[in-house]
Amino acid sequence: MFSKSISAISILLLVVAGAFHVARAAIANDHHQQQLINEAANILAYEAGAKTSFAISREHYQPITDCMFVTSESGPFSYVSTSNSDDVCGIYFLTDPDRTVEIHFDSYDVPCDHRGLLAVVDGWELNGELFPNEGDHILPIKDRVTEFCGKNRWYRSKKIFTSSQNAALIQYRVPLRGRGFVVSARYPKNPRPCNVLSVSTTDPFTLRNYGKRINCTLMAVYPGTVQVIALEVGSISPSHSVARMTETGTLRKCDTMSPQDQVQIGGSRDLDTTKLDVIDSICGIDSKSDIKESVPYDVTVVRLISSGYCDNSVTVAIRSIIDNDMLEAISGL
């Protein structure tokens, strides 16, 4: 990635201020049509429509004017440098949990000889921290970042990149006035979502491993209450020709009882879930679980750890901690 990372001040605006203001706005809206929006800072916009169409005329380009820009729209988006600054900026794409992000560079003019650079990240990066982390992703870090520069016009082949989850990032440095790029996005269905950056403060989501040896993480960038709705972690997959276990209820302290198949609930101060502070670890078979855990951290995390010998799943909802005084105390706003 870029040697010069996005500034810590901008990161705090996105992760801390943005998360808390967005959570307050979402809670105030109708729960069936809520939009995670902070228009003043342009920090986070979640909109359901116009996710697949590229049939937009050039005069309808959406100009990118903020260094930290988050969107779930299709675009097309245009960036034109207004100075010779070598600041590094980012476009953060976020979509539904069961979709991926497909990024199309329609054209770009980013001179290599002026240290111009474009980078596409499979996931989100903030201040050197990655989501999903290396241990939870199907690809090594070196295969999740593509850097390039130069010039590509409309009549040439587009550069296309597809993420592994519902979040992706373009980082760019265009230190020459008048140069830039045009980019669009599509959001194809993901039949087996694993790692998910939450876009809702109410909707439940099911993490599952599909019988594979893989870790899957649901992350929300706000302090929240995790409600476990259903749990099936530790039952043997039918492919192993062993009968499923009967309901055991929710078992606790599974980090010592069943470390290879468990659900970790916790929080962190940034996107790196390897630094997760685990509040609870659970496993077992419970179709009517009523577990609730409050996570008073900047980031709320539910992580499903799977050995590959079990067909694991957990259904949870992460609801924002709605008490304003508590939010302000945690965020320091």
Q: Which of 173-182, 230-239, 243-252, 253-262 has the highest mean pLDDT?
A: 173-182
Task: Count how many domains the chain has.
Answer: 2
The answer as to whether 250 is a domain residue is yes
Asked whether residue 33 carries a pLDDT value surpassing 50, the answer given is: no
Q: Do both 254 and 324 map to the same domain?
A: yes
Is it the case that residue 160 has pLDDT exceeding 50?
yes
The answer on pLDDT for 38 being more than 80 is no
Q: What is the mean pLDDT of the chain?
A: 77
N-to-C CA span, the chain:
31
Q: Which residues contact 91 (CB under 8 A, 6 or more apart)?
A: 64, 69, 70, 71, 77, 169, 170, 172, 183
pLDDT for the residue numbered 215: 92
* Boundary-marking domain end, from 186, 220, 243: 186
pLDDT of residue 140: 85
Residue with the bigger pLDDT between 72 and 3: it is: 72
Phi then psi for residue 136, to 5 deg, are -105, 5
pLDDT of the residue at 259: 79
* 271, part of any domain: yes
**C-alpha distances out from residue 170 to 103, 147, 183, 303, Å:** 9, 10, 10, 26
Mean pLDDT along residues 176-199: 93
The share of the chain scoring above pLDDT 90, in percent, equals: 46
| Contact status, residue 251 vs residue 284, Cβ threshold 8 Å | yes
Q: How confident is the model at residue 326 (pLDDT cuts 50, 70, 90)?
A: low
pLDDT at 172: 95
Which has more confidence, 84 or 32?
Answer: 84
In this prediction, residue 41 carries a pLDDT of 27
* 146 lies in the same domain as 54: yes
Q: Which of 155, 186, 217 is where one domain is finished? A: 186
Percent of the chain with pLDDT over 70: 73
Residue 144 lies inside a defined structural domain of this protein: yes
Q: Do residues 164 and 209 both lie within one domain? A: no
What integer pLDDT is reported at residue 12 of this predicted model? 32
Q: What is the pLDDT of residue 242?
A: 46
Same domain (yes/no): 39, 99: yes
Residues 168 and 301 reside in one and the same domain: no
pLDDT of residue 32: 29
pLDDT of residue 181: 94
Q: At 281, is the pLDDT very low, low, confident or very high (cuts 50, 70, 90)?
A: very high
Summarised one tens digit per residue, pLDDT across range 74-93 is 879 999 999 898 889 999 99
Position 120 scores a pLDDT of 95
Q: Is the same domain home to 178 and 210?
A: no
**308 within some domain:** yes
pLDDT of residue 64 exceeding 80, the answer is yes
Residues 36 and 152 in one domain: yes
Cis peptide before 132 (omega within 30 of 0): yes
pLDDT for res 137: 84
What's the whole-model pTM score?
Answer: 0.75
Which comes out higher in pLDDT, residue 41 or 307? 307
What pLDDT does 97 receive? 94
Q: Are 172 and 240 found together in one domain?
A: no
Claim to verify: residue 15 and residue 47 sit in the same structural domain: yes
What is the DSSP secondary structure assignment for residue 243, as one 8-state letter? P
Domain with residue 164: its CATH number is 2.60.120.290
At residue 272, the pLDDT reads 85
Q: Tell the residue number behind the tokens 């296309």, with chain if given.
A: 160
Residue 236 belongs to a domain: yes
> Which residues face 161 on adjacent strands?
103
The domain in which residue 273 lies consists of 204-331
Q: Calculate helix-pair angle for 19-28, 324-331, nearest 10 degrees.
A: 170
Query: Who has greater pLDDT, 119 or 249?
Result: 119
Pick from 190, 165, 198: nearest CA to 301 = 198
